[in-house]
């Protein structure tokens, strides 16, 4: 009887340990965030406007996750509460919603307008990043974590540089460089006034598809650099005029300067309001300085010639004929070396 009582006590201990282990496992499983595989396939990106800092996108968006043990409310939150971060969805049409094995698969066709911050410091040799960023509006990081659906892109068999993009996707005046898909964490230092949330900060999982486009700069470079070089060539002619013809030389230099100013205004009208100098601005400012030096040289040679030293005036002209092209080439090469 004593042995039987010992065995019964041992069985009770084992039973309680099993119940405790199961309860602990269930608690840990319930606390773990739902892993949601997410992906995008961009069909179109158009109306890219650096002035309004916006673009239009048409793309497919899919979610894939294990739905076992999830409540109907949680399923609805995962599927329906996905929202854009840097724009707005104009349409979000369901394409597919099914269960495959242990996973739930949902796919949408989405269109909308999105915003980006253009980086024009190297304009017209700039590269722009167009981003499609989404996150769940209600489920925080402790409840949901996005995972890049790499396997879906690998099965497509397309080059990695175009993963997530249609083969026919193209943007006028831009050339595709690469695509990045980034899963990050967004922190909000607020509970949005929700009385059920004690903590002041909230964190959400965020997914971004970033497309890097480089401007096809040859046409822009010729449109900007060639006219500036023509204006400078016009000013270069003053070095071949006699020092005594101040009115003619000054007229040529002033005409070149006014032409440069008018062209600068025309180019600036196509640029957004920004608080820094772009590369094209530096070319224009350099041209202004060179034209000012040209105008100053005509006055110097005129004064030297008027003081009875025509030989020195001619020597200055000859020196300027050599120094001016070298100065132009040096300044333009300096600004172009970082491109």
Classify residue 8: in a domain, yes or no: no
Residue 243 sits in the same domain as residue 201: no
Give the domain CATH number at 298.
Answer: 1.20.58.390
Q: What is the DSSP string of 39-61?
A: EEEEEEEEEEETTTTEEEEEEEE
Classify residue 26: in a domain, yes or no: no
Task: Look at residues 176, 194, 215 and tell me which one is the last residue of a structural domain.
Answer: 215
Residue 105 sits in the same domain as residue 253: no
Residue 172 sits in the same domain as residue 39: yes
Residue 67 sits in the same domain as residue 190: yes
Q: Is 325 left (phi over 0), alpha (psi -120 to 50) or beta?
A: alpha
pLDDT at 14: 52
pLDDT at 12: 47
- The number of distinct structural domains making up the chain is 2
pLDDT at 6: 54
Residue 133 sits in the same domain as residue 202: yes
Classify residue 190: in a domain, yes or no: yes
Residue 133 sits in the same domain as residue 45: yes
For residues 307 and 300, is the Cβ–Cβ distance under 8 A?
Answer: no
Task: Look at residues 198, 215, 232 and tell me which one is the last residue of a structural domain.
Answer: 215
Residue 40 sits in the same domain as residue 149: yes
CA–CA separation, 211 and 127 (whole Å): 10
Residue 168 sits in the same domain as residue 290: no
Largest CA distance in the chain: 137
| Cis amide bond preceding 124, omega within 30 | yes
Task: Look at residues 183, 215, 247 and tell me which one is the last residue of a structural domain.
Answer: 215
With H, G, I as helix, E, B as strand and everything else as coil, classify residue 213.
Answer: strand
pLDDT at 218: 80
Q: pTM for the whole thing?
A: 0.75
Classify residue 325: in a domain, yes or no: yes
For residues 148 and 181, is the Cβ–Cβ distance under 8 A?
Answer: yes
Residue 172 sits in the same domain as residue 236: no
Range of the domain at 53: 33-215
Print pLDDT tens along the chain (339 aa): 455 445 445 544 454 545 444 444 433 344 578 899 999 999 999 888 888 889 999 999 999 999 877 888 888 888 889 999 999 999 999 999 999 888 999 999 999 999 999 888 888 888 999 999 999 988 888 889 999 999 999 888 888 888 999 988 888 888 889 999 999 998 888 777 777 777 777 889 999 999 999 888 787 778 888 889 999 998 998 888 888 888 888 888 888 888 898 888 888 877 777 778 888 888 999 999 999 999 898 899 889 888 888 889 889 889 999 999 999 999 888 888 866
264's CB contacts (< 8 A; 6+ apart) are 284
Residue 287 sits in the same domain as residue 250: yes
Classify residue 10: in a domain, yes or no: no
Residue 151 sits in the same domain as residue 238: no
249's CB contacts (< 8 A; 6+ apart) are 238, 241, 298, 302
pLDDT at 244: 82
Residue 43 sits in the same domain as residue 181: yes
Classify residue 12: in a domain, yes or no: no
């Amino acid at each position: 009887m004593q042995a039987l009582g010992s065995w019964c006590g041992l069985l009770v201990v084992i039973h309680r340990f099993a119940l405790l282990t199961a309860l602990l496992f269930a608690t840990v499983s319930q606390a773990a965030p739902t892993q949601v595989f997410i992906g995008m396939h961009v069909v179109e990106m158009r109306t890219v406007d650096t002035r309004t800092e916006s673009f239009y996108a048409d793309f497919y968006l899919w979610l894939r996750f294990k739905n076992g043990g999830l409540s109907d409310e949680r399923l609805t939150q995962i599927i329906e509460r996905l929202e854009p971060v840097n724009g707005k969805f104009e349409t979000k049409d369901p394409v597919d919603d099914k269960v495959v094995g242990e996973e739930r698969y949902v796919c949408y066709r989405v269109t909308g307008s999105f915003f980006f911050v253009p980086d024009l410091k190297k304009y017209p040799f700039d590269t722009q990043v167009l981003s499609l960023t989404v996150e769940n509006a209600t489920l925080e990081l402790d409840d949901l974590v996005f995972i890049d659906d790499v396997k879906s892109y690998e099965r497509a068999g397309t080059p990695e540089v175009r993963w997530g993009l249609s083969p026919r996707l193209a943007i006028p005046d831009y050339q595709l460089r690469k695509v990045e898909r980034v899963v990050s964490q967004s922190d909000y230092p607020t509970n949005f006034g929700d009385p059920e949330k004690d903590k002041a900060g909230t964190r959400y999982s965020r997914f971004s598809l970033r497309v890097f486009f480089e401007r096809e700069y040859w046409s822009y470079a010729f449109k900007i650099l060639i006219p500036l070089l023509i204006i400078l060539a016009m000013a270069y002619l003053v070095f071949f005029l006699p020092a005594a013809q101040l009115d003619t030389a000054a007229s040529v230099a002033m005409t070149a300067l006014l032409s440069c100013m008018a062209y600068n205004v025309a180019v600036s009208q196509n640029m957004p309001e920004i608080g820094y100098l772009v590369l094209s601005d530096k070319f224009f400012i350099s041209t202004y300085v060179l034209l000012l030096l040209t105008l100053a040289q005509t006055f110097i040679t005129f004064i030297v010639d008027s003081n009875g030293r025509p030989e020195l005036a001619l020597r200055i002209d000859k020196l300027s004929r050599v120094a001016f092209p070298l100065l132009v080439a040096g300044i333009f090469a300096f600004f172009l070396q970082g491109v």
